[in-house]
Structure 1
Amino acid sequence: MQFSSRGARYGRVRRRARHHFATTAGALAALGIASPALARQEAQQVSAAPQADEGTVSSPSSVGTGAQDAGDILVTARRRKETVQSVPIAIAVVGGEHIDSTGSFNVGRLQQLVPTLQYYSSNPRNTAVNIRGIGVPFGLTNDGIEQGVGIYVDDVYFARVASATFDFLDVERIEVLRGPQGTLYGKNTTAGAINISTRQPTFDFEGRAEVSIGNLAFRQAKAAVSGPLSQTVAVRLALSSTSRRGTIWNTTSQRWINEQDNLGLRAQVLWQPTDTLSVTLAGDYSQQDPECCGTVYVRTGATQRALNRQYAALAAAQGYQVPSTDPFARVTDLDASLNAGNKVGGASLRAVLETGLGTLTSITAWRFWDWKPENDRDFTGLAVTTLSQNPSQQDQFTQELRLAGGGERIDYTLGAFYFRQSVDTQGSQQQGPAASAWLLSPSSALSQDPSVLDGLTATNNIGLDNTSAALYGQLNWHIVPGLTLRPGLRLNYDSKDGDYLSVVTNGEGELVTYDSTDPRIVAQRGVLAPQAFGVKYHDWNLSYDATLSYEAARDVLLYATYARSFKSGGVNLNGVPSDASGAPILAAATVAPEKVNHYEIGVKSRLWDHRLTINLAAFRTDIANYQALVTNGSLGVLRGYLANADAVRTQGVEADISLRPSARFNAYFNGAWTDATYRRFTDAPCPPELSGGTTAADGQAASAPGTPGGISPQNCDISGQRLPGVSEWSLSYGVEGNAPVRLLGQEGAVFLGIDGSTRSNFSSNPSPSAYTWVDGYTLTNLRTGFRTEAGFEIYLWARNLFDTDYFEQLQVPSGNTGLIVGNPGDPRTYGLTLRTQF
């Protein structure tokens, strides 16, 4: 196996991806020139949305409050433009104005508006975006599996969830679709999709600009301008920049950490030579370069390690004390370099044409992602782990073709999708002079010799080639007026080719191998273990769904859905367990695909002359072979690998309500009750309170949780326990009122808006632990200001108005010393925003 060829292969794949994009883009452009009977953009060729009755106030099914909510909300959730109330899908829509007004400038803040969306991020790479409790395993990211929640920007699939950490850039609206979407979207998605639509180039000159300042040295600027270059060409340019001082003080570096430092650029060119042709070329680039991402000490808990190997004894032996035991003092003493350098970008070509069969849409895209992190993996101010970084580079190429057409009784969408991805990661981890005393048993003389582990270094090279192709389609059969059956089908092929190489050397430059019986080498490989393996996975999958909808009355839509879906199998790229001889256990190198059965019923209604919208949904999703994260109790041996839990179930009820009785008042309420549990997972990793002791022999009883030096079970049965990151109850709500006034020489309105979110407690560990439950919390935001109909707006805002102390996430550092660290949520922030558009 030629592990050394990965770098050259990566370069070839990146050049090949660019070549594919350029070749396909050129061919499509040529096709557009040669075809006079083509269509404008897909959005323009479908029928316009019905307007509200004259004299009434339209109530959209949208999240958030603001001044421009009049009229029906149009979405493209089903790859055609239609009103959100006519779509038989549980969907939340957040308009661009709401995003701006509520300060929800990335997915992390978007979850405060959409209760069934869960977002967790210890750094951009280790980010999870789930819907209804499912999507990806909670914890360290493994590149060898797919997302369960697809992220699309202008129809382009973003393979790496790190893109969710960036600021939204010139966004028109965001649609959060709940439930499987594989028969309408390019990449299969079992949990849902986040469909982001940006503002498009216009042939009328327009622009918008926004500047915000606030405490913590917050600075944010956004601008966009659009207009014609000729009668057939229009262009749109947009930029966004955000910076903010960190929220945690590092006493070691004497600097604030966990800051924000984001820059985004987007350019789009629209070519419409005739009324029957539309081609859009787009390019974007975003970067982050903050000193991030650090944690704070939260607590310790008793494990089943020997008492002298638990945190209190280890810290006392080295005379170590954390700078603060109060996590909300926001003080840490991390001594390793921190960085979260993150760059994403790419180019896409979207062409829309009309044939005799219907509208044909092509989306060709190439994207890249470069990740340059540095972390403190021991989470303390001791020189235990002095270097931890896993820089990674990704290229992806996608091609999607869709045909949408039909007549009065039957219409359809057919699609083909191709995806090619290459990921290369170069990891380094190095132990420091405090490592021997911290990581080796105090009863061993080696623990008193700092040179045993000082300089011990693991160098990892990880590679993945990922190919996916699919044919999909959905048919809409209008059986009788008001009654529609929508069957869908998807045929999918996935192929993954991965390799993992970890070479370990000690401070003297010697290779650490499994052949040596030298006690020093044996101790060293117990901390950082060498490993090399290659793994391949390929499979075909067939999935299908059916939705029956019925217009029970005017503005009342009932629907029921069944979906048989899947999430493709994967490969483990963070290392796998080894046998007694050190050989990798290759049976653990792949994970089986998830098999999903999804059931949903819902009602969408508009009442009181469209002033009130009430949408309800109830769902149940059963997953066999759920892809779960398994962590190893030994420090450094594994970063966590994937395995299949036998069965998982998520079920719940959701409500989306919006009210606009007049142009002077509007409100919304969204709520979700979610019951997401492991139904059967009998060989799960144990939580820290049951780990670290002597492994129980077959039939031997385990000690009580937290018994120092006790007997730990081989694995734990967590069947019936809650999935990580899922609150049983989550709510979002808001209200805004305004009054007409003349101010600054202009006619306008003063307004006051309040929005908030509440969630109950959730588990922050893959196997629920008594030490990692995050308490529920409520966040309240306020804004007040003045706006004119001409587009000028000035307002004061406050987020987390009551300065609530809460954790976004708790973590269990490897090694199982009982240490628990956390990521505290933002404190109260406040500031001023000026916005204008023309």
Structure 2
Amino acid sequence: MPQPIYVKKPQGRRVPSHAPSALAVALLTALAALPGASLAQESAKGSSSDSTGAVSATSDNGTAGAAAVELKTVTVTARQGQERAVDVPFGLSVIGGEEVEVRRLQTVEDALRSTPGVEVSSWGDPNSANVLIRGVGSLYQVSQDDGSVALNVDGVPMSMRNVSLGTLDVERVEVLKGSQGTLFGGNSQAGAINITTRKPTRHLEGYVRGEYGEDNQHLEEAVVSGPLSERLSGRFALRNTGSDHWIENAQDGKPLAKPSSLAFRGSLLWDIAPRTNALFTAEREKNERSPALTIMRPYGDPAKLDFTPGIFDKNHKTAERYSVEINHDLDNSRLTSITAYTTTDFLGVKGYDQRLMQALYGYPIEYIGTDSSDEKKVSQELRLSSLPAAPIFWVAGLYLSSADRSFDSYYSASNRQNRDFKTDSYAAFGEVTYPLAEKWKVTGGLRHSWDKKHYDATYVGASTVQDSRKLNDDYTTGRVALSYALAPSTNVYSAFSHGYQSGGFSDFTTQVADSTPYKPARSNALEVGFKTESTDHRLALNGALFLTKVKDAHLLGYDYSTMAVGTINADTESKGAELEGVWRMGNGFELSGGLSYIDATIKSDAVGVYGGDVQSGNRVPDAPRWSGTLAVAYSKPIPEFLGLASPVMNARLSYRYVGSRAADPQNHFDLGSYRKVDMRVGVASGNTEVYVYGNNLLDEKYDLYGYYFTPTVTAGAPARGRTLGVGAAWYF
């Protein structure tokens, strides 16, 4: 869906392609302007960028303060090729890169929370997010590989556990709704997140941005892009963020931790020949000192945890991506090769504080454990697709990957588990949209996948036990759709898709008896919808009705007699409706928003689940029936003041409503509804903008998740309360 743009970025000076010195000077200037993100910090702390970006209704370039705005149709790559969003035969929400910046959506998780029909449950740290789309997702993630939503960054598959990492210099974030198994494989039965970052430009451009707000929240960011030689362009982006944690430590009255993140991305675009180019990308982000939160409810005001100060100082997560994308245009098609190497390194101290242990066991002690994980993955995709604007859209390809991952849990020298996972995957896929008549189009797509998984573990308890298992699986996913063009930019469609969530081995096994592979989950989804856009692109509206049935969704099982942790399965069903649109009313005003209704229920009993048996008819956890967003944006020239030339005021006020939702599959209790209001008001003059912002203006203490221990003891994590701040940006 098109989104607003507030400050038009200047195109920058057109420089000769043989002038690398201009780019070097701009890069040094930008980095020097970052008070908290020097090159010394980069080498000392590391960083990465799990970018998010999105299509916008206006161009990314222009002049800050320009009154005229060029309105464009939205182009996406949701199906691995460029096409109009209005032509895609399934539900799709798009968040533009400008909106990511203006709304301060600093992580992918933030961007997803702003999308109707999408809900994220997390412990507040960068490694625990579970995403549901249209009420479909893991009931309980039993491993880091266990998810129903795929994450791709510039065509490279990433672990969904990276969804809480930061956004940096992105072009768009596409939220693909419904099963996307044809192009994104297993674990995409709920949908996929497709992130596109900004590419090197043939002209010099960039920006420097800084923010400071309450709780010592700060952001320093710089981007520079331009030609390095006649055929080579480069882009470099850097972001440093940090803050005081919003939870207080009861023992010293100080913030529980001081989380920080340092991210960078460098890319080179080589125009090898008129029809051939290669894009080289390296990115890294390191998040430090972010704690996983388990706080007894009610949280108190302020919310506190009773831990030894500094206990979370060693927590970290580092994600890296190195990729090469080569495109070669033939006369009637495009050949694309994407080779990638990704790594993720995580260590997290977790546990129950003295207050919670006192309530559960009568002893005010700390219960502490440590999880650590290290993953390395190599992937290769080779595909052939239609050219942009071709009358017939089609794509076909091959994919292979090999991943090695560890997940170790440590509680004491006599209570620890070391687990190693190896997964090799292969797939062949293809999808085509073919015109049956002048206004009718049919879409068909299939993907067949082969997974080979191997599990090795050492369990240390009363004795030391070794275990080794194997799992081979092959499966077919796909979709069919039929669309009818009521007008050149108005389509109605119906689609049916089959999804798959791979089987595997649990991250929480504690003994050999529990290490048998868990079963895969299968889904069938039906969707009927429409998409329309006015000829002047000032009005766009999308709507859909949907029904998804899932067989054998995953739940964490626990046998109290043997203390074995396993995986239990339950069927689910989700049905509902959604509506999303934008209206550029003129006179500087724009109205946008969305509304989602979801009825998601568990359709079978599940006995032996951790926390108690699950009954058929229970609501799917973390899936509110009603959610919605509404935003009004205003951009208008204002009279000159303080010597500012041609100033323009840019303002945005956004509202998000999330209804009550079940905290767990047993429906022990509900998490309350909440309303989140954010605003941003800025004044731009020339290439500079200064602004103020406010997040969660109503100071709502809403829950990130909920957990049941006993009828009198529940836990969860509150989100950050109201914060205000200021910022400034300079574009060149």
| Both structures adopt the same fold (TM-score exceeding 0.5) | yes
Residue of structure 1 equivalent to 2:452? 495
- Given candidates 784, 788, 791, the residue that maps to 2:681 is 784
Residues 258, 723 of structure 1: alpha-carbon distance in 2 compared, 3 angstrom cutoff: farther
Deviations 1:434-456 (A, max 9, x none): xxxxxxxxxxxxxxxxxxxxxx7
Residues 591, 831 of structure 1: alpha-carbon distance in 2 compared, 3 angstrom cutoff: same
User: Which residue identity is paired with 2:533?
Assistant: R
Shift of 1:88: 1.8
Aligned counterparts of 2:451 and 2:712: Cα–Cα separation in 1: 40
Residue of structure 2 equivalent to 1:729? 626
Aligned counterparts of 1:808 and 1:459: Cα–Cα separation in 2: 28
Residue of structure 2 equivalent to 1:799? 695
* Equivalent residues in 2 for 1:224-243, closer than 5 Å: 224-243=223-242
The answer to whether the Cα contact below 8 Å between 1:621 and 1:650 also exists between their aligned partners in 2 is yes
Residue of structure 1 equivalent to 2:134? 132
The answer to whether the Cα contact below 8 Å between 2:514 and 2:566 also exists between their aligned partners in 1 is no
Aligned counterparts of 1:410 and 1:397: Cα–Cα separation in 2: 32
Residues 68, 461 of structure 1: alpha-carbon distance in 2 compared, 3 angstrom cutoff: farther
Aligned counterparts of 2:150 and 2:647: Cα–Cα separation in 1: 40
Residue of structure 1 equivalent to 2:716? 822
- Given candidates 559, 580, 583, the residue that maps to 1:659 is 583
Deviations 1:373-419 (A, max 9, x none): 11224644756455310111110111111101389664421011112
**Unmatched runs of 5 consecutive residues or more in structure 2:** 1-54, 60-66
Shift of 1:746: 1.8
Residues 565, 275 of structure 1: alpha-carbon distance in 2 compared, 3 angstrom cutoff: same
Shift of 1:480: 1.1
Aligned counterparts of 1:568 and 1:68: Cα–Cα separation in 2: 46
* Equivalent residues in 2 for 1:42-191, closer than 5 Å: 70-122=71-123, 123-138=125-140, 141-143=142-144, 145-159=145-159, 161-185=160-184, 189-191=188-190
Aligned counterparts of 2:94 and 2:68: Cα–Cα separation in 1: 16
Percent identity for Structure 1 against Structure 2: 24
Aligned counterparts of 2:434 and 2:592: Cα–Cα separation in 1: 34
Residues 68, 466 of structure 1: alpha-carbon distance in 2 compared, 3 angstrom cutoff: farther
Residues 127, 633 of structure 1: alpha-carbon distance in 2 compared, 3 angstrom cutoff: farther
- Given candidates 408, 413, 424, the residue that maps to 2:395 is 413
Aligned counterparts of 1:77 and 1:207: Cα–Cα separation in 2: 27
Q: Secondary structure of 1:718's match?
A: coil
Residue 644 in structure 1 maps to residue 569 in structure 2: yes
Shift of 1:341: 0.7
Residues 208, 663 of structure 1: alpha-carbon distance in 2 compared, 3 angstrom cutoff: farther
Q: Secondary structure of 2:544's match?
A: strand
Residue of structure 2 equivalent to 1:551? 485
Residue 345 in structure 1 maps to residue 320 in structure 2: yes
Aligned counterparts of 2:653 and 2:550: Cα–Cα separation in 1: 38
User: Which residue identity is paired with 1:400?
Assistant: E
Bigger drift between 665-674 and 251-260 goes to: 251-260
- Given candidates 637, 653, 674, the residue that maps to 2:598 is 674
Residues 632, 820 of structure 1: alpha-carbon distance in 2 compared, 3 angstrom cutoff: farther
Aligned counterparts of 1:372 and 1:484: Cα–Cα separation in 2: 50
Shift of 1:756: 1.4
The answer to whether the Cα contact below 8 Å between 2:307 and 2:366 also exists between their aligned partners in 1 is no
Aligned counterparts of 2:536 and 2:563: Cα–Cα separation in 1: 63
Residues 237, 642 of structure 1: alpha-carbon distance in 2 compared, 3 angstrom cutoff: same
Residue of structure 1 equivalent to 2:348? 373
RMSD of Structure 2 on Structure 1 (CA): 2.6
Residue of structure 2 equivalent to 1:354? 329
The answer to whether the Cα contact below 8 Å between 1:485 and 1:548 also exists between their aligned partners in 2 is yes
Aligned counterparts of 2:521 and 2:435: Cα–Cα separation in 1: 33
Q: Secondary structure of 2:255's match?
A: strand
The answer to whether the Cα contact below 8 Å between 1:189 and 1:567 also exists between their aligned partners in 2 is yes
Residue of structure 2 equivalent to 1:836? 730
Residue of structure 2 equivalent to 1:396? 377
Residues 606, 358 of structure 1: alpha-carbon distance in 2 compared, 3 angstrom cutoff: closer
Q: Secondary structure of 1:89's match?
A: coil
Shift of 1:109: 1.6
Shift of 1:188: 5.3
Q: Secondary structure of 2:456's match?
A: strand
Residues 782, 542 of structure 1: alpha-carbon distance in 2 compared, 3 angstrom cutoff: same
TM-score by length of 2: 0.85
Deviations 1:751-798 (A, max 9, x none): 33100110111122232113xx1100001011112124x442211110
Residues 469, 275 of structure 1: alpha-carbon distance in 2 compared, 3 angstrom cutoff: same
The answer to whether the Cα contact below 8 Å between 2:71 and 2:538 also exists between their aligned partners in 1 is no
Aligned counterparts of 1:419 and 1:623: Cα–Cα separation in 2: 26
Residues 411, 780 of structure 1: alpha-carbon distance in 2 compared, 3 angstrom cutoff: closer
The answer to whether the Cα contact below 8 Å between 2:73 and 2:537 also exists between their aligned partners in 1 is no
Q: Secondary structure of 2:101's match?
A: helix
TM-score by length of 1: 0.75
Residue 763 in structure 1 maps to residue 662 in structure 2: yes
Aligned counterparts of 1:108 and 1:409: Cα–Cα separation in 2: 36
Aligned counterparts of 1:805 and 1:475: Cα–Cα separation in 2: 47
The answer to whether the Cα contact below 8 Å between 1:180 and 1:189 also exists between their aligned partners in 2 is yes
Aligned counterparts of 1:805 and 1:172: Cα–Cα separation in 2: 32
Q: Which one has the largest radius of gyration? A: 1
Shift of 1:347: 0.4
The answer to whether the Cα contact below 8 Å between 2:132 and 2:623 also exists between their aligned partners in 1 is no
Deviations 1:313-343 (A, max 9, x none): xxxxxxxxxxxxx533212212482253111
Shift of 1:818: 4.5
User: Which residue identity is paired with 1:584?
Assistant: A
The answer to whether the Cα contact below 8 Å between 2:119 and 2:622 also exists between their aligned partners in 1 is yes
Shift of 1:682: 4.0
Residue 745 in structure 1 maps to residue 658 in structure 2: no
Residue of structure 2 equivalent to 1:590? 517
The answer to whether the Cα contact below 8 Å between 2:186 and 2:499 also exists between their aligned partners in 1 is no
Residue of structure 2 equivalent to 1:15? none
Residue of structure 2 equivalent to 1:309? none
The answer to whether the Cα contact below 8 Å between 1:459 and 1:503 also exists between their aligned partners in 2 is yes
Q: Secondary structure of 1:184's match?
A: helix
Aligned counterparts of 2:116 and 2:722: Cα–Cα separation in 1: 21
Residues 469, 608 of structure 1: alpha-carbon distance in 2 compared, 3 angstrom cutoff: closer
Aligned counterparts of 1:200 and 1:608: Cα–Cα separation in 2: 29
Aligned counterparts of 2:618 and 2:120: Cα–Cα separation in 1: 20
The answer to whether the Cα contact below 8 Å between 1:258 and 1:293 also exists between their aligned partners in 2 is no
